[in-house]
Structure 1
Amino acid sequence: MQTIARPAPILAALSILLSVAFLIMGNGLQLMLLPIRGGIEGFSSFQIGLLGSGYFFGFVLGCAFTPRMIMGVGHIRTFAALVAIASAAALGYPMALDAIIWIVLRMITGFCLAGLYLVVESWLNDQATNETRGLLISTYVTVNFTVITLGQMMVTLFQPTSFVLFSIASVLVSLAAVPIVMTRSSQPPPITVVRFRPMRMFRLSPTGTVSIFLIGLATGSFWSLAPSYASTVSGSVGDAALFMSAAVLGGAFAQLPAGKISDRVDRRKVLIALAAGCAVVGVALALTSGTPYYWLGLGAAFGAGLLPSYAIAAAHVFDFADRSDYVEISAGLLLLNGMGSTIGPMLSSVSIEIWGQQGFFVANAAIQIALIGFVGFRLSQREGLPVDEKQNFDLGTSAAVSVVGDEGAVQLSDLVVQEPT
Structure 2
Amino acid sequence: MFQVLSNVWALLIGIVLIMLGNGMQFTLIGLRGDIEGFSAAELAVVTSGYFVGFLSGARLTPLMIQRVGHVRVFAALGSFVSASVIALPLLAEPWAWTLLRVILGFCMSGIYVTAESWINDAATNETRGKVLSAYMIAQTLGIIGAQGLLTLGDAGTSVLFIGASILVSISFAPILLTVSRVPAAEVTRPMPLRELFSGSPLGTVGIFLLGSVYATQSGMGAVFGSQIGLTTSQIALFVAMLFAGALVLQYPIGWLSDRLDRRWLIFGCAAVGASACAAGWLFGTGLWSLMGAAFIAGGVTTPLYALFLAYTNDYLAVEDMPAASGGLVFTFGLGAILGPLAAGWAMQAAGPYGFWLVLGGTFAVIALYALYRMTQRAAAPVDETESYLGVLPTASPVAVEAAGVWAAENAEAEREAEAEAEAEAEAERAEGGEESGSVQTPVQPSGAAT
TM over 0.5: yes
Paired residue for 1:175, among 170, 178, 187?
Answer: 170
Q: CA deviation at 1:193?
A: 4.4
Residue 238 in 1 paired to residue 230 in 2? no
Counterpart position of 1:256: 251
Residues 134 and 396 of structure 1 are in contact (CA less than 8 Å); yes or no, is this contact kept in structure 2? Answer: no
Residue 91 in 1 paired to residue 63 in 2? no
Q: CA deviation at 1:326?
A: 2.6
- 1:315-360 deviation line (CA, Å, top 9, x unaligned): 1011122222232222222121111100100011111111101101
Match runs of 1:217-232 below 5 Å: 217-232=212-227
Residue 300 in 1 paired to residue 304 in 2? no
Counterpart position of 1:70: 65
- 1:377-415 deviation line (CA, Å, top 9, x unaligned): 1110001111111112223699945337859969x9xxx
Paired residue for 1:165, among 149, 160, 168?
Answer: 160
Q: CA deviation at 1:234?
A: 4.6
**1:64 match: secondary structure:** helix
Supply the distance in 1 between the matched residues of 2:288 and 2:294 (Cα, whole angstroms): 10
Supply the distance in 1 between the matched residues of 2:395 and 2:269 (Cα, whole angstroms): 17
- For structure 1, which segment, 102-111 or 176-185, has the greater mean C-alpha deviation from structure 2 after superposition? 176-185
**1:391 match: secondary structure:** coil
Supply the distance in 2 between the matched residues of 1:120 and 1:17 (Cα, whole angstroms): 9
Counterpart position of 2:95: 100
Amino acid aligned to 2:130: L
Residues 62 and 185 of structure 2 are in contact (CA less than 8 Å); yes or no, is this contact kept in structure 1? Answer: no
Supply the distance in 1 between the matched residues of 2:270 and 2:75 (Cα, whole angstroms): 39
Gaps of 5+ in 1: 1-6, 413-421
Over 3 Å counting, the alpha-carbon distance change for 1:390 and 1:397 in structure 2 is: farther
Residues 249 and 300 of structure 1 are in contact (CA less than 8 Å); yes or no, is this contact kept in structure 2? Answer: yes
Percent sequence identity over aligned pairs? 33
Over 3 Å counting, the alpha-carbon distance change for 1:182 and 1:55 in structure 2 is: same
Supply the distance in 2 between the matched residues of 1:302 and 1:53 (Cα, whole angstroms): 20
Counterpart position of 1:365: 360
Paired residue for 1:45, among 37, 40, 48?
Answer: 40
Supply the distance in 2 between the matched residues of 1:108 and 1:396 (Cα, whole angstroms): 24
Counterpart position of 2:421: none
Paired residue for 2:150, among 155, 173, 191?
Answer: 155
Q: CA deviation at 1:135?
A: 0.1
Counterpart position of 2:182: 187
Q: CA deviation at 1:230?
A: 2.0
- 1:207-249 deviation line (CA, Å, top 9, x unaligned): 1111010100111111111111123325211011111112211
Q: CA deviation at 1:8?
A: 2.1
Amino acid aligned to 1:323: V
Paired residue for 1:199, among 194, 197, 208?
Answer: 194
Supply the distance in 2 between the matched residues of 1:397 and 1:158 (Cα, whole angstroms): 29
Match runs of 1:282-293 below 5 Å: 282-293=277-288
Amino acid aligned to 1:304: G
Over 3 Å counting, the alpha-carbon distance change for 1:193 and 1:229 in structure 2 is: same
- For structure 1, which segment, 319-328 or 285-294, has the greater mean C-alpha deviation from structure 2 after superposition? 285-294
Residues 87 and 173 of structure 1 are in contact (CA less than 8 Å); yes or no, is this contact kept in structure 2? Answer: yes
Gaps of 5+ in 2: 409-450
Structure number with greater CO (CA < 8 Å, separation at least 6) is: 1
Counterpart position of 1:124: 119
Counterpart position of 1:19: 14
Q: TM-score, normalising length from structure 2?
A: 0.86
Residues 126 and 406 of structure 1 are in contact (CA less than 8 Å); yes or no, is this contact kept in structure 2? Answer: no
Q: CA deviation at 1:197?
A: 1.5
Supply the distance in 2 between the matched residues of 1:98 and 1:380 (Cα, whole angstroms): 50
Counterpart position of 1:4: none
Displaced runs of 4+ in structure 1, greater than 6 A?
396-399
**1:83 match: secondary structure:** helix
